[in-house]
A and B are shown apart, each in its own frame.
Chain A
Amino acid sequence: MMYTEKVMEHFKNPRNMGEIPDADGVGTVGNPVCGDLMTIYIKVKDNRLEDIKFKTFGCGSAIATSSMITELAKGKTLEEAMKITRANVADELGGLPPVKMHCSNLAADALHAAIEYYNKKRKAADEVKK
């Protein structure tokens, strides 16, 4: 098998899989044309990621990296979560095959997109209040 045990474990039992209907932020990256598409949903409370869920179309590593990032990010502050990189995700999984490093390791990007979405939304709301 080309994948580490950790990757296979997350593929078999993905953590935090699903949607958050009233999410504070949603980030989608990838493209089904390339074979990978992932969406991350976040719920924010007191500047922390109170809840995080994912949905992914893609190969084993796409599903495993999505699952892993939800574990890494849950409970972190938004600033801490923004610092999680693709490399962190791959390292936590014990490494990914080289061909997967680019196309199927988009989970960090999806998380960042969800947080940016949340920040923008909050900023817009603040301005309305002003």
Chain B
Amino acid sequence: MDHAAGKPVDSRVAEAMLPYMKTFYGNPSSLHQFGQEARKALEDARTKIAELVNAERKESIIFTSGATESNNMAIKGVANRNKDRGTRIITSSIEHMSVVNTCKFLTTKGFEAVFLPVDNYGFVKLESLEKELTDKTVLVSIVYANGEIGTIQPMKEISKIVHSKNAYLHVDATAACGQVPIDIKEEGIDLLTISSNGTYGPKGIGALYIKEGIRVEPLLHGGGQERGLRSGTENLPSIVGFGKAAEIAKNEMQPEGERLIRLRDRLIDGLLKPIPYSFLNGHPTRRLPDNVSVRYSFIEGESMLLSLDMMGVAASSGSACTAKTLEPSHVLLAIGLKHEEAHGSLMFTLGRQNTEEEVDYVVSLMPSIVKRLRAISPLTPKELNK
């Protein structure tokens, strides 16, 4: 139940990809028929991705190597190419590291980056956005829904504010795309990062939607593929897979979303109700269908993960102890959790293959895991260990 970290490629996607490795291996830039077959597959995939997010035209979709590149390209590309519009970039304090570190990098290149606070649910504080948004602001980059806490941002309201000052709005939809309907036109999004693996497509491929008329400087220069915005021979098998994954996600989003929400809420209830001093991170309803993020007082996340792992359950924690750094998740700190609360957080991200039985199994394990670790912890109040 750690689908945010990686999802399996849907078997229908894998099947769609195979011919483009074995039979149709042409280069979409070639004029001969092999090339033209590849070109057609490439453009079909582009159309499917445009349809997933209701982009006005398929040409606005640029294929990249994944969400990290898309975020880099959106932020650096817009900032560098539109200095005449301003040098201020606004983002939030719950962004993915590929947004955080790109913005930080740009501060060494003459740009100014502002990290907006969020409330305890993880909603970006709109009054702060209004306050920080100046005429000098070139770009605002906000995550559609953060993958750690699942909170879905009020994107329509955000875009209204951003556009009142003529800034561009970039949205990182890596965790959200394929799970919840995203409507670029309706929500007023100027640039959108779309992930393939997030929609059960292959890894190593992604896309950036760029609204017509917005100037973006490419990250990669070369043969001029992708309208000159992303040079390099197209990764056709992955692009075809991504297109198929987007098509499936669009067709199955509603029933699958409803199913996941039922499982999600069953898991949240089961993880919190029987255990004292347990809490939900994020918002109870305005959250991604797949996301369950909870915390337990007095114990630490990695020891919970290990305990679950021994019972065959994969989850993820908000504690740094599982990661390369020592700091707990910046997202959990940004929603106002104390360090020890962030360390005590546990995340499950559900997927297509998870069942009610699996949810109930996790729920049945948790009370004894928490009880055991609380018995070991010096922080646990004595009456809890009775």
Contact = CB atoms under 8 A, between A and B. Distances in A.
Given A57-B300, A58-B321, A33 B375 contact: no
A72 interface: no
B292 to A, nearest CB: 21
A60 B303 contact: yes
Contacts of A38: 378
Nearest to B302: A59
Interface in B99-129: none
B320 A57 contact: no
A59 B378 contact: no
Q: How large is the interface on B (under 10, 10 to 19, 20 to 34, 35 or more residues)?
A: 20 to 34
Interface string A8-34: 100110100100000000001000111
A17 B300 contact: no
B379 interface: yes
Nearest to A28: B378
Interface in B315-341: 319-322, 324, 326, 328, 338-340
A55 interface: yes
B377 A57 contact: yes
A128 interface: no
A103 B306 contact: no
Nearest to B326: A103
Interface in A34-69: 34-39, 55-60, 62-63
A55 B310 contact: no
Nearest to A30: B378
B376 A32 contact: no
Contacts of B299: 57
Interface residues of A, number: 28
A32 B302 contact: no
B351 to A, nearest CB: 22
Contacts of B321: 35-36, 58-59, 100, 103-104
A125 interface: no
B300 A59 contact: yes
A12 B311 CA distance: 12
Given A11-B303, A60-B306, A55 B377 contact: yes
Contacts of B343: 32, 35
Given A55-B376, A103-B326, A35 B306 contact: no
Contacts of A103: 321, 326
A37 B322 CA distance: 16
Contacts of A56: 376-378
Contacts of A1: 309
B298 interface: yes
Nearest to B328: A35
B326 A60 contact: no
B378 A37 contact: yes
Nearest to B375: A17
B311 to A, nearest CB: 11
Interface in B276-330: 298-303, 306, 309-310, 319-322, 324, 326, 328
Contacts of B310: 8, 12
Interface centre among A59, A99, A100, A104 (most CB of B within 10 A): A59
A63 B378 contact: no
Contact of B306 (A11, A33, A57): A11
A59 B319 contact: yes
A17 B379 contact: no
Contacts of B340: 32-33, 35, 57
Contacts of B322: 59
B107 to A, nearest CB: 27
B303 A58 contact: yes
Given A3-B306, A32-B343, 6 more contacts: A32-B379, A35-B326, A35-B339, A57-B376, A59-B302, A103-B326
11 contacts: A8-B306, A14-B376, A32-B339, A35-B321, A35-B326, A55-B377, A56-B376, A57-B298, A57-B340, A59-B303, A59-B306
